[in-house]
């Protein structure tokens, strides 16, 4: 009896280990509710690290719980606001969305002044794929206090098809000898821009010991 239970448990564990959860798919529609007319600056997330460091990253998931904003075009969009550090000298900001397996949050990045007025936006061709993120890079100007990220509805549903090359190493032990073999991987990937996903911000400080 105990052996049978053990076998069933082991089978269950193996099945669970082998079962893969499909990656989140792109969300192509959005029905925001209780959308604010203005961004809530009081709820802005801080981009100031606890201690000064050369690189500081903030990632924010964007999902059904993310607050909604009615944009200037009258569209409903999830949004997130970040408060820039008080000292932005020597700091460079990369703001956008990480490349997930099947989706990319469709970011529209805008910079706001202290009153929440948009003072800078970025043309679509200023966004670029940088490593594992789709982002814009900028240095704050005088008077800029917040960064707001909403959805660009024109981008939602568009696809980013890419080819990535890498290597993969496998190893086997035979006759007391470990043998490894490295082979090449050439993989096509297709991701869709989405209303949900994540926003990533990386702050690089060129004037620090950290």
Partner 1 sequence: MKHLLWAFAALAVSGCVSPYVATPYERTAANVQQIALVNDAVPPRLTAWEVASAGSNFGLIGALADAGIQQSRENQLMETLSGAHFDAEAVIEARLMSSLTANGYEVALLENGDRERRVFLEKYEGGAEGVDAYLDVVVTNYGYIAAGMGQPWRPTADATVRLVSADGETLMENQIAYNSMYPRAGVITISPNPEYAFQNRDHMLQRPDLLAAGIEDALNQIADTSTRLLQ
Task: Name the site residues for partner 1 (rule: CB under 8 A).
Answer: 54-55, 92, 94, 123, 125-126, 128-133, 137-139, 161-167, 180-186, 188, 202, 204, 206
Structure tokens at 173: 């032990």
CB nearer to partner 1: pick between 66 and 208: 208
Instruction: Name the minimum Å distance from CB 209 to partner 1.
Output: 13
CB nearer to partner 1: pick between 165 and 173: 165
CB nearer to partner 1: pick between 70 and 204: 204
Instruction: Name the minimum Å distance from CB 12 to partner 1.
Output: 35
Instruction: Name the minimum Å distance from CB 128 to partner 1.
Output: 5
Task: Provide the sign of the torsion angle of the four alpha carbons 178, 179, 182, 188, taken in this order.
Answer: negative
- Return all residues near 124 (Cβ < 8 A) that are at least 6 apart: 152, 155
Instruction: Name the minimum Å distance from CB 126 to partner 1.
Output: 7
CB nearer to partner 1: pick between 22 and 171: 171
Residues 153 and 75: beta-carbon distance below 8 Å: yes
Burial class of residue 151, CB neighbours in 10 A (0-12, 13-18, 19+): buried
Instruction: Name the minimum Å distance from CB 173 to partner 1.
Output: 16
CB nearer to partner 1: pick between 98 and 153: 98
Residues 44 and 81: beta-carbon distance below 8 Å: yes
Q: What are phi and psi of 15, to 5 degrees?
A: -60, -45
Secondary element (H or E) of residue 10? helix 2-18
């Amino acid at each position: 009896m105990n052996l049978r239970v053990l076998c069933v448990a082991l089978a269950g564990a193996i099945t669970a280990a082998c079962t893969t959860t499909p990656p989140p798919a792109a969300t192509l529609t959005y029905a925001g509710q209780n959308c604010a007319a203005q961004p809530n600056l009081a709820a802005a997330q801080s981009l100031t690290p606890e201690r000064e460091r050369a690189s500081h990253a903030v990632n924010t998931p964007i999902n059904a719980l993310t607050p909604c904003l009615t944009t200037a075009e009258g569209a409903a969009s999830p949004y997130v606001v970040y408060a820039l550090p008080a000292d932005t000298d020597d700091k460079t900001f990369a703001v956008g969305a990480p490349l997930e397996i099947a989706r990319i949050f469709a970011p529209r990045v805008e910079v706001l002044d202290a009153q929440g007025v948009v003072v800078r936006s970025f043309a679509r061709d200023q966004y670029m794929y940088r490593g594992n993120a789709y982002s814009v890079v900028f240095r704050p100007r005088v008077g800029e206090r917040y960064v707001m990220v909403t959805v660009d509805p024109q981008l939602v549903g568009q696809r980013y098809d890419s080819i990535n090359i890498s290597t993969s190493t496998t190893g086997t032990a035979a006759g007391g000898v470990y043998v490894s073999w490295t082979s090449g991987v050439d993989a096509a990937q297709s991701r869709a821009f989405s209303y949900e996903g994540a926003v990533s911000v990386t702050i690089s400080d060129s004037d620090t010991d950290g």
